[in-house]
Structure 1
């Protein structure tokens, strides 16, 4: 019997062709629109491998139906959309795409920090909506990044790549992990407590994976401990943040601004409470969104599937 591979979003066709040589491949034919849940449940029943996106919740319902499933290949570094305990119990391999998106995501995080500091979104809107009345001494005056203290919550590969970019800005780098990070070696970055990170940082970057321990880490108490001139940047997961607490912190001046690429429930619409706040920089989850990087992520997903279905070990298993 030919093994079946399910791909829940249209991807690079060269990657699909690699699978079609030996397997039956079913691909949802849309780039932008997620595979409907009902369709996903139907197709996964006889699938031997599935390539998923963050838009798919691979929960116990899915895994109980997928009696033939050997591998879940997730197009992301994060895997909080997958029930790892149930997958492990059913001996299903779970893989992700670390490293290949590190520099691209760190690059966007750095861009977001600069945009927030210099009020780029707000300034652009003023110009494009015709409300710019001319130059004045403090018009759209933001804050400098150069020479500031930057705190990184989650010093993994992406956090370290972000920290390297701070060298040219002569920033002091702090970070908070459960323990000292190997990624922090040679970065001149100091491991501090979470409270110290919040109290001392001019910019706080959340780059941690979402776990039961990190969920809702950034709440009212955390924002109260930050400087009222501080900027909060999140490229980790929306679940790290209690969104109403962040909204209140920004609106009341508890912190100066926030820049977000991720949200608790995605996608968000124009009615989201963050939309329209002048000191919010909001992006639609584009951390790894360069053509080169997305192609590399897709290729890694496909290669993980090929390895497992051909009896080998995956290149990037989630363990």
Structure 2
């Protein structure tokens, strides 16, 4: 009788182990789900070269992710796809590694990943130069009325007048940068090449990098009041959401230019539209807005003193290839139980 019971126990243990091996095997090549179909091949090839089995989706939708998430060890995604609780609930026990092909991660619930013990890595730094270049381009385009000038040509309104289409100078100007992180610092370095008068910046605290750049740490109010160019370079958080509101724009100079290359939600968009319509500020340049994509009949497209680009700050071939490769390296580090190159969680 005892032998029979012992045999049953052994059989039960064997069944449990087989189920465990079937569901959470670590001997098979790790599976990685590529949720963004347009992910550059550099990262995908790197994963394959390092022994990963890659599953590529045709559409970046929650429903498509849900079809495969239970069978993979890692997820590579990119905004605007959100990593929802529904996806996390459907994920199998192997899915402990996530990488986003972006510097920002407001499309991911960080606290939820932390609770579930899932690692997350992002791709900062490799896009700093491209985004900083784009910020300077927007500042110049807005200051020199690029969009408005094109409209004048199209509408046959070209004039020969020394007082026609006068813009604002960057030379001898005061440039205010909200958020002197890596991208903010890259912007500051580029702006110094235009013989500006000074750089102001604001944030949680004064930074050693600010002193190295010769930048002055000031309050947000002072920056808004004294800057000829205001450039937003902060992550989207509960603290920064809507920080550039009607009160903020009312403090800016009427000759000032506003630039946003961070996230659209950092700006109270109706307040910005009002400031541009009433000429409370001179002009603005935006690479980010709400919603995205912007509807073709949106009122912002009718503003002559607003330069818009469709969230392409990091959109250069080399930058996107590097972002994809870095995301792949983050995944391999996570799968190996090592700290990611750029860990978020």
TM-score by length of 1: 0.94
Length, aligned pairs only: 314
Establish whether residue 156 from structure 1 lines up as the match of residue 185 from structure 2: no
User: Which residue of 82, 87, 91 corresponds with 1:62?
Assistant: 87
Mapped to 2, the partners of 1:231 and 1:103 lie a distance apart of 21
Whether the 8 Å CA contact 2:152–2:158 is kept in 1: the answer is: no
Give the unaligned 5+ runs of structure 2.
1-27
Question: In the alignment, is the contact (CA less than 8 A) between 1:156 and 1:181 conserved in 2?
Answer: no
| Structure 1 Cα separation of the partners of residues 287 and 126 of structure 2 | 19
Matched residue SS, 2:204: coil
Equivalent position of 1:147 in the other structure = 172
> Pick from 252, 262, 267: which aligns with 1:226?
252
Residue 24 (structure 1) aligned to one of 53, 56, 78: 53
Question: Aligned pair in 2 of structure 1 residues 43, 265: CA closer, same or farther (>3 Å)?
Answer: farther
CA contact (8 A) 2:61 2:81 kept: no
Q: For residue 38 of structure 1, what is the aligned residue in structure 2?
A: 63
Greater helix proportion? 2
1: CA distance, partners of 2:339 / 2:186: 28
* 2:71 counterpart SS class: coil
2:156 alignment partner in structure 1: 131
> Root-mean-square deviation (CA), in Å?
1.5
Q: TM-score, normalised by structure 2?
A: 0.87
Runs of 4+ off more than 3 Å: none
Separation in 1 of the partners of 2:156 and 2:134?
A: 28
How do 1:166-181 and structure 2 match up within 5 A? 166-171=191-196, 172-181=198-207
Residue 129 of structure 2 corresponds to residue 100 of structure 1: no
Gaps of 5+ in 1: none
2:280 is the counterpart of 1:251: no
Whether the 8 Å CA contact 2:33–2:76 is kept in 1: the answer is yes
Structure 2 residue matching 1:315: 3-state secondary structure: coil
Partner of 2:18: none
Task: Say which structure, 1 or 2, has more relative contact order (CA 8 Å, 6+ apart).
Answer: 2
Please identify the structure whose Cα radius of gyration is greater: 2
